[in-house]
Amino acid sequence: MPTLPFDWTPETTPSGPRPRKQGATSSGSKSMSVSELSKQIVGALETLPSSIRVNGELSSLKRSRNGHWYFSLKDDDALIDCAMWSSRARGVTCEPRDGDAVEVVGHVEHYAKQGRTQLIVERLQPQGQGTLQARFEALCAELRLLGWFENECKQPLPVLPRRIAVLTAGGSAALADVQRTSVDRCPSVQLLLVDVPVQGEGAAARIADAIEHVDAAADRLEVDAILVTRGGGSPEDLWAFNERVVAEAIFRCQTPIVAAVGHESDTSIAELVADHRASTPTQAVMALMPDADEIHHQLEDRSHRLRLLLRRQVEQARVQAINQSHHLGASLQSTLATAHRQLDAQARRLLERRPSAMMAARRASLVRNTRHLEQKLHTWHLETRTRLLGAARGMTNAMEHRLHAARVRFEALDATLEAVSPQAVLDRGFSLTLDEAGNVVRAAETLEQGAEIVTRFSRGRAHSRVETVEIDGSGTVESP
Protein backbone atom coordinates (compact mmCIF):
# COMPACT_ATOMS: atom_id res chain seq x y z
CA MET A 1 0.00 0.00 0.00
CA PRO A 2 1.47 3.40 -0.95
CA THR A 3 2.16 5.93 1.76
CA LEU A 4 1.50 9.66 1.69
CA PRO A 5 4.40 11.62 0.14
CA PHE A 6 4.78 13.74 3.26
CA ASP A 7 7.08 13.29 6.25
CA TRP A 8 4.76 12.23 9.04
CA THR A 9 7.43 10.51 11.14
CA PRO A 10 7.29 11.89 14.69
CA GLU A 11 10.33 13.80 15.76
CA THR A 12 12.55 11.76 18.07
CA THR A 13 14.93 12.93 20.72
CA PRO A 14 18.40 11.47 21.10
CA SER A 15 18.26 8.46 23.36
CA GLY A 16 20.95 7.12 25.58
CA PRO A 17 21.56 5.69 28.99
CA ARG A 18 19.86 7.53 31.81
CA PRO A 19 22.24 9.57 33.96
CA ARG A 20 22.78 8.16 37.38
CA LYS A 21 21.46 10.02 40.35
CA GLN A 22 24.12 11.63 42.43
CA GLY A 23 24.99 9.59 45.46
CA ALA A 24 23.73 6.31 43.99
CA THR A 25 26.35 3.56 43.70
CA SER A 26 26.40 -0.15 43.07
CA SER A 27 29.52 -0.88 45.09
CA GLY A 28 29.74 -1.43 48.78
CA SER A 29 26.20 -2.93 49.14
CA LYS A 30 25.20 -6.56 49.59
CA SER A 31 23.11 -8.01 46.76
CA MET A 32 19.80 -9.75 47.57
CA SER A 33 17.54 -12.15 45.75
CA VAL A 34 14.27 -11.21 44.14
CA SER A 35 12.39 -13.09 46.86
CA GLU A 36 14.17 -11.16 49.55
CA LEU A 37 13.32 -7.85 47.83
CA SER A 38 9.67 -8.92 47.50
CA LYS A 39 9.56 -9.78 51.20
CA GLN A 40 10.90 -6.33 52.05
CA ILE A 41 8.24 -4.74 49.83
CA VAL A 42 5.53 -6.79 51.57
CA GLY A 43 6.97 -5.84 54.94
CA ALA A 44 6.96 -2.18 53.96
CA LEU A 45 3.33 -2.41 52.83
CA GLU A 46 2.36 -3.95 56.15
CA THR A 47 3.27 -0.68 57.78
CA LEU A 48 0.36 0.96 55.91
CA PRO A 49 -3.09 1.16 57.57
CA SER A 50 -5.27 -1.90 57.06
CA SER A 51 -7.96 0.27 55.46
CA ILE A 52 -7.04 3.08 53.08
CA ARG A 53 -9.44 5.62 51.56
CA VAL A 54 -8.32 6.82 48.10
CA ASN A 55 -9.87 9.31 45.65
CA GLY A 56 -9.10 9.09 41.94
CA GLU A 57 -10.36 8.69 38.41
CA LEU A 58 -11.55 5.28 37.22
CA SER A 59 -9.82 3.95 34.09
CA SER A 60 -9.55 0.72 32.04
CA LEU A 61 -12.39 -1.02 33.88
CA LYS A 62 -12.71 -4.71 32.98
CA ARG A 63 -15.08 -7.35 34.34
CA SER A 64 -14.05 -11.00 34.39
CA ARG A 65 -16.35 -13.96 33.84
CA ASN A 66 -16.26 -14.63 37.58
CA GLY A 67 -17.59 -11.13 38.29
CA HIS A 68 -14.28 -9.67 39.49
CA TRP A 69 -13.48 -6.08 38.57
CA TYR A 70 -10.01 -4.99 37.45
CA PHE A 71 -9.31 -1.32 36.87
CA SER A 72 -6.84 1.52 37.41
CA LEU A 73 -7.18 4.47 39.73
CA LYS A 74 -5.26 7.57 38.68
CA ASP A 75 -4.77 11.29 39.06
CA ASP A 76 -2.62 13.77 37.15
CA ASP A 77 0.67 12.36 38.44
CA ALA A 78 0.23 8.67 39.27
CA LEU A 79 -1.70 5.47 38.54
CA ILE A 80 -2.25 2.30 40.57
CA ASP A 81 -3.81 -1.02 39.59
CA CYS A 82 -6.88 -2.08 41.53
CA ALA A 83 -8.91 -5.26 41.92
CA MET A 84 -12.35 -5.73 43.42
CA TRP A 85 -13.57 -9.26 43.99
CA SER A 86 -17.03 -10.28 42.88
CA SER A 87 -18.32 -10.59 46.46
CA ARG A 88 -17.57 -6.90 46.97
CA ALA A 89 -18.47 -5.79 43.43
CA ARG A 90 -22.04 -7.10 43.83
CA GLY A 91 -22.56 -4.59 46.62
CA VAL A 92 -21.81 -1.56 44.40
CA THR A 93 -25.12 0.21 43.69
CA CYS A 94 -23.83 2.54 40.95
CA GLU A 95 -22.68 1.60 37.43
CA PRO A 96 -19.06 2.81 37.25
CA ARG A 97 -17.59 3.87 33.92
CA ASP A 98 -14.17 4.92 32.71
CA GLY A 99 -13.56 8.55 33.58
CA ASP A 100 -15.73 8.54 36.72
CA ALA A 101 -14.26 10.10 39.84
CA VAL A 102 -14.64 7.58 42.64
CA GLU A 103 -13.68 7.05 46.24
CA VAL A 104 -12.50 3.55 47.19
CA VAL A 105 -11.69 1.89 50.49
CA GLY A 106 -9.27 -1.03 50.59
CA HIS A 107 -5.78 -2.23 51.34
CA VAL A 108 -2.55 -2.66 49.34
CA GLU A 109 -1.19 -6.09 48.51
CA HIS A 110 1.96 -7.18 46.68
CA TYR A 111 1.93 -10.44 44.69
CA ALA A 112 5.52 -11.67 44.65
CA LYS A 113 5.09 -14.33 41.94
CA GLN A 114 3.62 -11.78 39.52
CA GLY A 115 5.62 -8.80 40.74
CA ARG A 116 2.41 -6.74 40.99
CA THR A 117 1.27 -4.31 43.61
CA GLN A 118 -2.50 -3.76 43.73
CA LEU A 119 -5.03 -1.91 45.77
CA ILE A 120 -7.65 -4.47 46.82
CA VAL A 121 -10.89 -2.48 46.85
CA GLU A 122 -13.61 -3.38 49.33
CA ARG A 123 -15.97 -0.45 48.77
CA LEU A 124 -16.48 1.91 45.80
CA GLN A 125 -18.70 4.95 45.49
CA PRO A 126 -18.87 7.76 42.90
CA GLN A 127 -17.41 11.18 43.64
CA GLY A 128 -18.60 13.06 40.53
CA GLN A 129 -17.20 13.18 37.05
CA GLY A 130 -13.58 12.47 36.27
CA THR A 131 -11.30 15.03 34.70
CA LEU A 132 -11.27 13.45 31.22
CA GLN A 133 -15.00 12.76 31.26
CA ALA A 134 -15.73 16.34 32.34
CA ARG A 135 -13.52 17.70 29.55
CA PHE A 136 -15.21 15.36 27.07
CA GLU A 137 -18.72 16.45 28.02
CA ALA A 138 -17.79 20.15 28.13
CA LEU A 139 -16.31 20.02 24.60
CA CYS A 140 -19.32 18.03 23.37
CA ALA A 141 -21.66 20.69 24.73
CA GLU A 142 -19.63 23.47 23.09
CA LEU A 143 -19.46 21.79 19.68
CA ARG A 144 -23.14 20.86 19.81
CA LEU A 145 -24.01 24.54 20.28
CA LEU A 146 -21.79 25.39 17.29
CA GLY A 147 -23.75 22.89 15.18
CA TRP A 148 -20.74 20.68 14.39
CA PHE A 149 -22.72 17.50 15.15
CA GLU A 150 -25.70 18.39 12.92
CA ASN A 151 -26.51 16.21 9.91
CA GLU A 152 -26.74 19.33 7.75
CA CYS A 153 -22.97 19.80 8.15
CA LYS A 154 -22.10 16.25 7.05
CA GLN A 155 -21.05 15.41 3.49
CA PRO A 156 -22.24 12.35 1.57
CA LEU A 157 -19.72 9.57 1.07
CA PRO A 158 -18.52 8.81 -2.48
CA VAL A 159 -20.30 5.92 -4.19
CA LEU A 160 -17.13 4.46 -5.72
CA PRO A 161 -13.98 6.22 -4.46
CA ARG A 162 -10.78 6.07 -6.49
CA ARG A 163 -8.46 6.30 -3.50
CA ILE A 164 -8.93 6.46 0.28
CA ALA A 165 -6.40 8.07 2.61
CA VAL A 166 -6.07 6.01 5.82
CA LEU A 167 -4.84 8.06 8.80
CA THR A 168 -3.59 5.62 11.44
CA ALA A 169 -0.45 4.18 12.92
CA GLY A 170 1.59 2.10 10.48
CA GLY A 171 1.67 -1.59 11.38
CA SER A 172 -1.34 -1.32 13.71
CA ALA A 173 -4.08 -3.92 13.98
CA ALA A 174 -6.58 -1.33 12.75
CA LEU A 175 -4.55 -0.85 9.56
CA ALA A 176 -4.40 -4.62 9.06
CA ASP A 177 -8.20 -4.82 9.39
CA VAL A 178 -8.60 -2.02 6.86
CA GLN A 179 -6.26 -3.67 4.36
CA ARG A 180 -7.83 -7.11 4.74
CA THR A 181 -11.40 -5.80 4.39
CA SER A 182 -10.41 -3.63 1.43
CA VAL A 183 -8.94 -6.61 -0.45
CA ASP A 184 -12.00 -8.75 0.30
CA ARG A 185 -14.53 -6.06 -0.51
CA CYS A 186 -13.21 -4.00 -3.45
CA PRO A 187 -9.54 -4.45 -4.45
CA SER A 188 -9.82 -1.81 -7.19
CA VAL A 189 -10.05 0.99 -4.60
CA GLN A 190 -6.55 2.13 -3.63
CA LEU A 191 -5.49 2.84 -0.06
CA LEU A 192 -3.01 5.59 0.80
CA LEU A 193 -1.43 5.22 4.24
CA VAL A 194 -0.83 8.36 6.28
CA ASP A 195 1.32 7.13 9.15
CA VAL A 196 0.54 9.29 12.18
CA PRO A 197 0.78 8.67 15.93
CA VAL A 198 -2.65 7.91 17.38
CA GLN A 199 -1.86 8.38 21.06
CA GLY A 200 0.54 10.16 23.30
CA GLU A 201 1.75 13.72 23.59
CA GLY A 202 1.46 15.69 20.35
CA ALA A 203 -0.67 13.04 18.62
CA ALA A 204 -3.72 15.31 18.31
CA ALA A 205 -1.75 18.05 16.57
CA ARG A 206 -0.16 15.53 14.19
CA ILE A 207 -3.55 14.02 13.32
CA ALA A 208 -5.08 17.46 12.67
CA ASP A 209 -2.08 18.50 10.56
CA ALA A 210 -2.32 15.28 8.51
CA ILE A 211 -6.04 15.84 7.85
CA GLU A 212 -5.40 19.40 6.65
CA HIS A 213 -2.52 18.37 4.33
CA VAL A 214 -4.43 15.45 2.81
CA ASP A 215 -7.50 17.63 2.26
CA ALA A 216 -5.41 20.33 0.57
CA ALA A 217 -3.79 17.77 -1.77
CA ALA A 218 -6.91 15.62 -2.32
CA ASP A 219 -7.36 16.57 -5.99
CA ARG A 220 -3.73 16.02 -6.85
CA LEU A 221 -3.60 12.70 -4.98
CA GLU A 222 -7.03 11.63 -6.34
CA VAL A 223 -8.23 11.05 -2.79
CA ASP A 224 -12.04 10.89 -2.61
CA ALA A 225 -12.38 10.07 1.12
CA ILE A 226 -10.38 9.99 4.35
CA LEU A 227 -10.53 7.23 6.98
CA VAL A 228 -9.36 8.16 10.49
CA THR A 229 -9.06 5.04 12.63
CA ARG A 230 -7.29 3.22 15.42
CA GLY A 231 -7.90 0.20 17.64
CA GLY A 232 -9.25 0.09 21.16
CA GLY A 233 -7.60 1.29 24.32
CA SER A 234 -8.13 3.16 27.54
CA PRO A 235 -9.70 6.64 27.56
CA GLU A 236 -6.20 8.05 27.90
CA ASP A 237 -5.08 6.16 24.79
CA LEU A 238 -8.06 7.44 22.79
CA TRP A 239 -7.93 10.99 24.10
CA ALA A 240 -6.12 12.42 21.05
CA PHE A 241 -9.40 11.98 19.12
CA ASN A 242 -11.26 14.04 21.75
CA GLU A 243 -9.13 17.15 21.31
CA ARG A 244 -10.67 20.26 19.78
CA VAL A 245 -7.86 20.66 17.22
CA VAL A 246 -8.78 17.27 15.68
CA ALA A 247 -12.51 18.05 15.74
CA GLU A 248 -11.91 21.41 14.03
CA ALA A 249 -9.69 19.85 11.35
CA ILE A 250 -12.42 17.28 10.59
CA PHE A 251 -15.16 19.93 10.51
CA ARG A 252 -13.13 22.18 8.14
CA CYS A 253 -12.17 19.30 5.85
CA GLN A 254 -13.79 19.44 2.40
CA THR A 255 -13.08 15.75 1.72
CA PRO A 256 -15.62 13.29 3.21
CA ILE A 257 -14.28 11.73 6.43
CA VAL A 258 -15.18 8.46 8.13
CA ALA A 259 -13.99 7.97 11.72
CA ALA A 260 -13.69 4.61 13.51
CA VAL A 261 -11.94 5.00 16.86
CA GLY A 262 -11.70 2.33 19.55
CA HIS A 263 -14.19 -0.43 20.15
CA GLU A 264 -17.90 -0.37 19.34
CA SER A 265 -18.75 0.91 22.82
CA ASP A 266 -16.31 3.84 22.56
CA THR A 267 -17.46 7.19 21.25
CA SER A 268 -15.03 9.99 20.44
CA ILE A 269 -15.64 13.60 19.49
CA ALA A 270 -13.86 12.97 16.20
CA GLU A 271 -16.52 10.38 15.33
CA LEU A 272 -19.34 12.77 16.26
CA VAL A 273 -17.96 15.52 13.98
CA ALA A 274 -17.02 13.19 11.10
CA ASP A 275 -19.31 12.80 8.10
CA HIS A 276 -19.84 9.14 9.05
CA ARG A 277 -19.12 7.14 12.22
CA ALA A 278 -18.20 3.46 12.13
CA SER A 279 -17.92 1.16 15.12
CA THR A 280 -14.84 -0.67 13.84
CA PRO A 281 -12.26 -0.22 11.07
CA THR A 282 -13.92 -3.07 9.17
CA GLN A 283 -17.30 -1.33 9.26
CA ALA A 284 -15.62 1.90 8.15
CA VAL A 285 -14.23 0.19 5.03
CA MET A 286 -17.65 -1.36 4.37
CA ALA A 287 -19.22 2.11 4.55
CA LEU A 288 -16.64 3.59 2.15
CA MET A 289 -16.25 0.78 -0.40
CA PRO A 290 -18.91 -1.03 -2.37
CA ASP A 291 -18.90 -4.82 -2.37
CA ALA A 292 -17.22 -5.92 -5.61
CA ASP A 293 -19.02 -9.28 -5.57
CA GLU A 294 -22.35 -7.53 -5.08
CA ILE A 295 -21.56 -5.13 -7.93
CA HIS A 296 -20.59 -8.10 -10.11
CA HIS A 297 -23.86 -9.86 -9.29
CA GLN A 298 -25.78 -6.67 -9.98
CA LEU A 299 -24.03 -6.25 -13.33
CA GLU A 300 -24.79 -9.86 -14.26
CA ASP A 301 -28.40 -9.45 -13.21
CA ARG A 302 -28.79 -6.23 -15.14
CA SER A 303 -27.01 -7.74 -18.16
CA HIS A 304 -29.44 -10.67 -18.10
CA ARG A 305 -32.38 -8.32 -17.73
CA LEU A 306 -31.02 -6.17 -20.59
CA ARG A 307 -30.73 -9.21 -22.86
CA LEU A 308 -34.30 -10.22 -22.03
CA LEU A 309 -35.46 -6.68 -22.68
CA LEU A 310 -33.66 -6.56 -26.03
CA ARG A 311 -35.18 -9.91 -27.06
CA ARG A 312 -38.62 -8.67 -26.05
CA GLN A 313 -38.15 -5.44 -27.98
CA VAL A 314 -36.90 -7.32 -31.09
CA GLU A 315 -39.93 -9.63 -30.96
CA GLN A 316 -42.24 -6.68 -30.51
CA ALA A 317 -40.57 -4.91 -33.45
CA ARG A 318 -40.99 -8.05 -35.62
CA VAL A 319 -44.69 -8.31 -34.73
CA GLN A 320 -45.14 -4.60 -35.38
CA ALA A 321 -43.40 -4.95 -38.77
CA ILE A 322 -45.75 -7.81 -39.76
CA ASN A 323 -48.79 -5.85 -38.59
CA GLN A 324 -47.63 -2.76 -40.41
CA SER A 325 -47.03 -4.81 -43.59
CA HIS A 326 -50.63 -6.12 -43.48
CA HIS A 327 -51.89 -2.67 -42.67
CA LEU A 328 -49.86 -1.19 -45.53
CA GLY A 329 -51.34 -3.69 -48.01
CA ALA A 330 -54.87 -2.89 -46.88
CA SER A 331 -54.10 0.79 -46.98
CA LEU A 332 -52.75 0.52 -50.55
CA GLN A 333 -55.89 -1.31 -51.70
CA SER A 334 -58.07 1.32 -50.03
CA THR A 335 -56.00 4.09 -51.61
CA LEU A 336 -56.31 2.50 -55.07
CA ALA A 337 -60.10 2.14 -54.69
CA THR A 338 -60.37 5.76 -53.62
CA ALA A 339 -58.26 6.82 -56.60
CA HIS A 340 -60.57 4.86 -58.97
CA ARG A 341 -63.60 6.57 -57.49
CA GLN A 342 -61.95 9.97 -57.82
CA LEU A 343 -61.08 9.26 -61.46
CA ASP A 344 -64.67 8.28 -62.22
CA ALA A 345 -65.94 11.46 -60.55
CA GLN A 346 -63.43 13.56 -62.49
CA ALA A 347 -64.55 11.93 -65.75
CA ARG A 348 -68.17 12.71 -64.99
CA ARG A 349 -67.29 16.32 -64.19
CA LEU A 350 -65.36 16.62 -67.45
CA LEU A 351 -68.35 15.34 -69.41
CA GLU A 352 -70.57 17.80 -67.61
CA ARG A 353 -68.19 20.66 -68.37
CA ARG A 354 -68.27 20.32 -72.17
CA PRO A 355 -68.96 23.74 -73.82
CA SER A 356 -72.38 22.82 -75.14
CA ALA A 357 -73.47 21.28 -71.86
CA MET A 358 -72.13 24.21 -69.88
CA MET A 359 -73.93 26.74 -72.15
CA ALA A 360 -77.24 24.94 -71.82
CA ALA A 361 -76.84 24.64 -68.07
CA ARG A 362 -75.95 28.32 -67.69
CA ARG A 363 -78.86 29.40 -69.98
CA ALA A 364 -81.34 27.43 -67.85
CA SER A 365 -79.81 28.84 -64.67
CA LEU A 366 -80.09 32.40 -66.05
CA VAL A 367 -83.76 31.93 -66.85
CA ARG A 368 -84.42 30.59 -63.34
CA ASN A 369 -82.51 33.44 -61.71
CA THR A 370 -84.36 36.07 -63.83
CA ARG A 371 -87.76 34.76 -62.79
CA HIS A 372 -86.73 34.54 -59.19
CA LEU A 373 -85.34 38.10 -59.26
CA GLU A 374 -88.56 39.49 -60.78
CA GLN A 375 -90.59 37.83 -58.04
CA LYS A 376 -88.24 39.18 -55.36
CA LEU A 377 -88.40 42.73 -56.76
CA HIS A 378 -92.22 42.72 -56.89
CA THR A 379 -92.47 41.43 -53.34
CA TRP A 380 -89.90 43.94 -52.11
CA HIS A 381 -91.73 46.83 -53.81
CA LEU A 382 -95.04 45.93 -52.15
CA GLU A 383 -93.43 45.47 -48.72
CA THR A 384 -91.49 48.71 -48.99
CA ARG A 385 -94.56 50.73 -49.99
CA THR A 386 -96.56 49.28 -47.09
CA ARG A 387 -93.74 50.10 -44.62
CA LEU A 388 -93.45 53.68 -45.92
CA LEU A 389 -97.20 54.34 -45.64
CA GLY A 390 -97.27 52.95 -42.12
CA ALA A 391 -94.27 55.01 -41.16
CA ALA A 392 -95.84 58.21 -42.53
CA ARG A 393 -99.03 57.67 -40.57
CA GLY A 394 -97.03 56.91 -37.45
CA MET A 395 -94.91 60.03 -37.79
CA THR A 396 -98.04 62.21 -38.29
CA ASN A 397 -99.70 60.80 -35.18
CA ALA A 398 -96.53 61.16 -33.16
CA MET A 399 -96.02 64.78 -34.19
CA GLU A 400 -99.60 65.67 -33.30
CA HIS A 401 -99.27 63.94 -29.93
CA ARG A 402 -95.99 65.71 -29.13
CA LEU A 403 -97.40 69.10 -30.17
CA HIS A 404 -100.44 68.64 -27.93
CA ALA A 405 -98.31 67.58 -24.99
CA ALA A 406 -95.96 70.53 -25.51
CA ARG A 407 -98.88 72.94 -25.67
CA VAL A 408 -100.38 71.61 -22.41
CA ARG A 409 -96.98 71.81 -20.66
CA PHE A 410 -96.41 75.35 -21.94
CA GLU A 411 -99.75 76.54 -20.67
CA ALA A 412 -99.05 75.00 -17.23
CA LEU A 413 -95.61 76.58 -17.00
CA ASP A 414 -97.00 79.95 -18.11
CA ALA A 415 -99.64 79.82 -15.38
CA THR A 416 -97.02 78.91 -12.80
CA LEU A 417 -94.72 81.68 -13.94
CA GLU A 418 -97.55 84.19 -13.85
CA ALA A 419 -98.43 83.14 -10.30
CA VAL A 420 -94.90 83.57 -8.95
CA SER A 421 -93.92 86.73 -10.87
CA PRO A 422 -93.00 89.84 -8.80
CA GLN A 423 -95.85 91.81 -10.36
CA ALA A 424 -98.36 89.20 -9.22
CA VAL A 425 -96.97 89.42 -5.69
CA LEU A 426 -97.33 93.23 -5.78
CA ASP A 427 -100.85 92.90 -7.12
CA ARG A 428 -101.73 90.87 -4.03
CA GLY A 429 -100.91 93.87 -1.78
CA PHE A 430 -97.22 93.35 -1.10
CA SER A 431 -94.56 96.02 -1.69
CA LEU A 432 -90.79 95.94 -2.54
CA THR A 433 -88.25 98.18 -0.78
CA LEU A 434 -84.98 99.15 -2.44
CA ASP A 435 -81.99 101.04 -0.96
CA GLU A 436 -80.10 103.88 -2.60
CA ALA A 437 -78.05 101.36 -4.68
CA GLY A 438 -81.17 99.63 -5.93
CA ASN A 439 -80.64 96.51 -3.83
CA VAL A 440 -83.61 94.79 -2.20
CA VAL A 441 -83.89 95.52 1.53
CA ARG A 442 -84.59 92.21 3.33
CA ALA A 443 -83.95 93.27 6.97
CA ALA A 444 -84.44 96.53 8.86
CA GLU A 445 -81.06 96.29 10.56
CA THR A 446 -79.31 96.85 7.22
CA LEU A 447 -80.71 100.43 7.05
CA GLU A 448 -79.20 103.49 8.63
CA GLN A 449 -80.97 106.56 9.94
CA GLY A 450 -81.36 109.16 7.25
CA ALA A 451 -80.97 106.67 4.39
CA GLU A 452 -83.18 107.18 1.36
CA ILE A 453 -85.30 104.24 0.25
CA VAL A 454 -87.73 103.53 -2.60
CA THR A 455 -90.92 101.55 -2.01
CA ARG A 456 -92.41 99.91 -5.09
CA PHE A 457 -96.17 99.08 -5.23
CA SER A 458 -98.40 97.27 -7.70
CA ARG A 459 -98.83 100.60 -9.47
CA GLY A 460 -96.21 103.29 -8.86
CA ARG A 461 -93.46 103.83 -6.27
CA ALA A 462 -92.74 106.18 -3.30
CA HIS A 463 -89.47 107.80 -2.11
CA SER A 464 -88.87 108.19 1.66
CA ARG A 465 -86.15 108.75 4.32
CA VAL A 466 -85.50 106.50 7.33
CA GLU A 467 -86.20 108.16 10.64
CA THR A 468 -85.97 105.22 13.03
CA VAL A 469 -85.24 101.45 12.80
CA GLU A 470 -87.10 98.78 14.83
CA ILE A 471 -85.68 95.25 15.12
CA ASP A 472 -88.02 92.29 15.96
CA GLY A 473 -90.53 94.66 17.72
CA SER A 474 -88.06 95.32 20.61
CA GLY A 475 -88.36 99.07 20.28
CA THR A 476 -86.73 101.82 18.40
CA VAL A 477 -83.06 101.49 17.72
CA GLU A 478 -81.25 104.41 16.28
CA SER A 479 -78.56 103.70 13.85
CA PRO A 480 -75.10 104.88 14.77
pLDDT of residue 26: 44
Mean pLDDT calculated for residue range 235-247: 88
Of 10 and 312, more confident: 312
68 pLDDT exceeds 50? yes
pLDDT of residue 130: 60
257 pLDDT exceeds 90? yes
pTM: 0.47
pLDDT of residue 326: 85
Residue 193's pLDDT band (boundaries 50, 70, 90)?
very high
Of 200 and 421, more confident: 200
Range in 41-45, 56-60, 118-122 the model is least confident about = 41-45
Residue 98's pLDDT band (boundaries 50, 70, 90)?
confident
The count of residues in the chain is 480
Q: What Å distances lie between residue 145 and 39, 241, 242, CA to CA?
A: 57, 19, 17
Return mean pLDDT, the chain.
Answer: 84
327 pLDDT exceeds 70? yes
Q: What is the pLDDT of residues 120-176, one digit of tens each?
A: 999 898 775 566 777 888 888 999 999 999 988 899 999 889 999 999 998 888 899
52 pLDDT exceeds 80? yes
Q: What is the pLDDT of residues 423-447, one digit of tens each?
A: 777 777 788 888 888 888 888 888 8
Pair 108, 57: CB distance under 8 Å: no
Pair 121, 83: CB distance under 8 Å: yes
Mean pLDDT calculated for residue range 349-356: 74
265 pLDDT exceeds 70? yes
204 pLDDT exceeds 70? yes
278 pLDDT exceeds 70? yes
Distance separating alpha carbons of residues 55 and 121, to the nearest angstrom: 12
Q: For residue 68, how many other CB atoms are within 10 A of its CB? A: 15
Of 267 and 26, more confident: 267
Mean pLDDT calculated for residue range 88-116: 86
Q: What is the pLDDT of residues 371-394, one digit of tens each?
A: 888 888 889 988 888 889 888 888
